[in-house]
Amino acid sequence: MRPELKEYALDLLFARSFEIARKTARSSEKERTYLMKTVPYISGILEPILEQGKPAITFIELLCDYYTNIVNAKANGKKVVMTTFCFDPTIFYAFSNLVPLTLEVGSVICSFLWKRGSFDFMDFCTEVGFSETGCSAQRGTLGAYLSGTGAEIDMVAINMGGVCDTNGNAYSFAAQYLGKPFYGLDYPSELTSNEVADYHHRDFRNLIRFIEDNGGGDFDIDRLRELLNEKIIQDELTNELEELQRLVPNPVPGLFHMMIYACRYTWTGDKKFTRLLREMVEVASKNAAKGISGLGKEEKCRALLIYIDNFAFNAGMFQWFHNNQVSHMGNLLTRFFPHNAPYRRDVPGTCYRIDTTDLDTMIDSLADINARMPMTRTIRGPYDAPNMWFEDSLSLAQIYRADCCIYNGTPGCRNTWSNVKLIMRDLERHGFPTHLVYADAFDGRVESWETTATRLDEFFNIRGLL
């Protein structure tokens, strides 16, 4: 890794960048215009985010708080738990002394913010022996923590066993390389039976024991109840946004999706995240009342991302959508499957319900939520979801009246790349033009954003979508 990169602690760099960005909330339009000229390297991402208005500032504040907490963890007597984006962090916040750190969120920030992306960190992983074919979502920042450029990690806890090998592998490698305790929740290839639910619940209790043994902090039951109650409100607000997206034109701005899942992975149960969602509902509702799209201009087409977004420099994909008047109808990462979600299909056992009656019901609820996080639920199978996430994709495409579907992921994703051709074929058979992106959502070296954009142009033109 280039020595100069080691001069900057990654979390500190993130925290300070967001600290400066949040101050723009107090700036006048003239000041902001001037600011954009003086920060050419980040204006490309700052501008479209700030254009989202109030929610953008809250979003930036949340990310700033997240990384500031990580930076200050040791000074505040707290321990840092490295975890994956699919792990609902509520349980960590229910402990008095834990701070979660999610690699994938950092990888997105690097890709969005820096022209060089997170290439150096990815390459460092390879230098120390990690497979170069592993998923870039983790490698994007894993290298920083392995090289000591990021915060010191105290333990690793994930929920990827049985869901995603390459993700689980990255975290277990990190635990081994850094010599830290590791716990992995395990998920069978089925989701809906009572037997499986019981397995999830018992496994989750063992996880809590692991955290107690290795964290040394107090588990606060009242705090857990408070967090879960807040999550109920957050789910309702997210559902409202989902409902609004069914309108034509879609009044929800595309970047809201990214903001929702980034915060859901980092700040679930927190009141400030509730505020963010309220602000988003307000913006989208106003758009809906006026009958305008979240694009701020005419909606020409509606695209459902059936896997993840592309996090190219300066939010290239979101900008492409905006410029081409294509509404982003969300992706696999934005759907969490609470029992009252508008997109749920009434298949017993596929959604979660939060029950705060007592400690046991709360722990069971957490286990159920974790088992239904994006990816954890959706790309599991094969039993009780024999076509992997095809039915989910098809029903979402139908519910949200998508004109087309786009698969975008990372070459590190064995699961989806093992099945995407089947899903693509079936979506086409059901009348949804489907485009397969061969780029890496986090690594522009695999395919440059410009090439990806050209292929999107081709797809939308050839299929007569624009």
Partner 1 sequence: MSELFKKAANSINVPEIVELKNKGVKIVGHTCSFVPVEIFYAADIVPVRLRGIETESMSIGDAYYGPFVCSFPKAVLQQAGKGGFSFLNGVVITSGCDGMRRLDECWRKMSTDFEGTMPGLFTFLDVPHKPHDVALEWYESRLRKLIKTIENHFNVSITDEKLKNAISFQNKIRVKIRELTDLRAENPVFITGTEAFEALIARTVLPADIFLEELSRLIEEVKNRKEPVSDGRKRLFVTGSICDDIGLVEQIEEKGAIVVGESVCYGMRNTTEMVSETEDPVSALASHYLSGSICPRMFGYYEARRDAIISMVKETGANGVIMQNIRFCDLHGSENGLLERDFEKEGIPSVRIEKEYGPLTDKGRLRMRVDAFLEQIGRKRRSFSA
Residues contributing to the site for partner 1 (CB under 8 A)? 128-135, 158, 160-162, 164-166, 168-173, 175-177, 182-184, 186, 188-190, 195, 199, 202-203, 206, 381-383, 386-388, 411-422, 438
User: 34 or 383, CB closer to partner 1?
Assistant: 383
Distance CA 428, CA 76 (A): 54
Cα–Cα distance for residue pair 370/287, rounded to 1 Å = 33
Q: Shortest Cβ distance from residue 166 to partner 1 (Å)?
A: 5
CA distance 403 to 304: 8
Shortest separation between residue 150's beta carbon and partner 1, angstroms: 19
The residue (of 182 and 352) whose beta carbon lies closer to partner 1 is 182
Give the β-pairing of 182-186 and 301-305.
unpaired
- Decide whether 349 or 381 has the Cβ nearer to partner 1: 381
In whole angstroms, what is the distance from residue 446 CA to residue 85 CA?
A: 23
Q: Are 215 and 154 in contact (CB under 8 A)?
A: yes
* Residue 167 CB contacts under 8 Å (≥ 6 apart), including other chains: 84, 86, 135, 137, 138, 158, 160
Pairing label, strands 301-305, 326-328: parallel
Q: How far is the CB of 159 from partner 1 (least distance, A)?
A: 11
> Whole-number minimum distance, CB 214 to partner 1, in Å?
13
CB of 443 to partner 1, least distance (A): 13
> Which of 33, 206 has the CB closer to partner 1?
206
Closest contact distance (angstroms) between CB of 2 and partner 1 is 21
Least distance (Å) between residue 422 CB and partner 1:
5
Closer CB to partner 1, residue 50 or residue 207?
207
The CB-of-160 to partner 1 minimum distance in angstroms stands at 8
Give the nearer residue to partner 1 in terms of CB position, either 178 or 465.
178
Beta carbon nearer to partner 1, 156 or 404: 156
Report the residue number, 245 or 416, with the smaller CB distance to partner 1.
416
Backbone angles phi, psi at 283, to 5 degrees: -60, -50
Minimum Å distance from CB 363 to partner 1?
14
CA distances from 205 to 45, 208, 367, 410 (A): 41, 5, 9, 33
| CA dihedral over 263, 267, 269, 273, signed as positive or negative | negative
For 109, 120, 320, 396, the CA distances from 409, given in Å and listed in that order, are 16, 20, 17, 18
Q: Rounded to whole angstroms, what are the CA distances from 193 to 70, 182, 340, 430?
A: 38, 28, 20, 29
Q: How far is the CB of 191 from partner 1 (least distance, A)?
A: 11
Is the Cβ–Cβ distance between 361 and 229 less than 8 Å? Answer: no
Closest C-alpha among 14, 83, 96 to residue 266: 83
Task: Name the minimum Å distance from CB 140 to partner 1.
Answer: 15
Nearer to partner 1, 387 or 448 (CB): 387
Which lies closer to partner 1 via its Cβ, residue 165 or residue 226?
165
Which tokens sit at 69? 């907490």
Tokens of 40: 């050419």
Q: State the Cα–Cα distance between residues 182 and 179, nearest whole angstrom.
A: 9
Nearer to partner 1, 347 or 422 (CB): 422
